[in-house]
Amino acid sequence: MLRVIQIFRWILIIPAAIVGWYTALLFGIFLMSTAERLCPEHLIVSGECIAKWYNLLVDAMILVGAGLSAVLTILFAVIAAPNKKYIVSQIIFISGAIVATVILMSSVSWGPYLWAITFGLITLIQVKKHVEGN
């Protein structure tokens, strides 16, 4: 029975990583809707907020969302893995870095790319420390 559970957990790694990514996406959507509600009515023109602070807030939320997506994607996969957690975190990080690079090539948006890579690396280091017991 234990072997069946381990096999099931290995199968769940990719779906868990995807759930991590979608969790970050939903959190980002929640943040954006909150930001839209913060905009005073007199500063909404044609459905867009023209407050001076709004674009900075949106840019910050995009960066936070990119970093959070890297963290949650790795963590959810690591939690699902029955063992070899650091190797799993490396594979998920490399896969995410490839996806982020492809997105970067089409959008040339360096900020979210750098945040995703940076927070992915930080998560990788923390997983290694946790696995090694440091």
29-75: pLDDT as tens digits:
999 999 889 999 999 999 899 999 999 999 999 999 999 999 999 99
pTM of the model: 0.89
- Residue 93 makes CB contacts below 8 A (sequence gap 6+) with 70, 74, 120, 121, 123, 124
Beta partners for residue 49, in sequence order: 44
CB-facing half-sphere around the CA of 95: CA atoms within 13 A: 15
CB-facing half-sphere around the CA of 5: CA atoms within 13 A: 4
Angle of the 110-132 helix axis to the 54-80 helix axis, nearest 10: 30
Q: What is the pLDDT of residue 134?
A: 60
Query: What average pLDDT is seen over the chain?
Result: 93
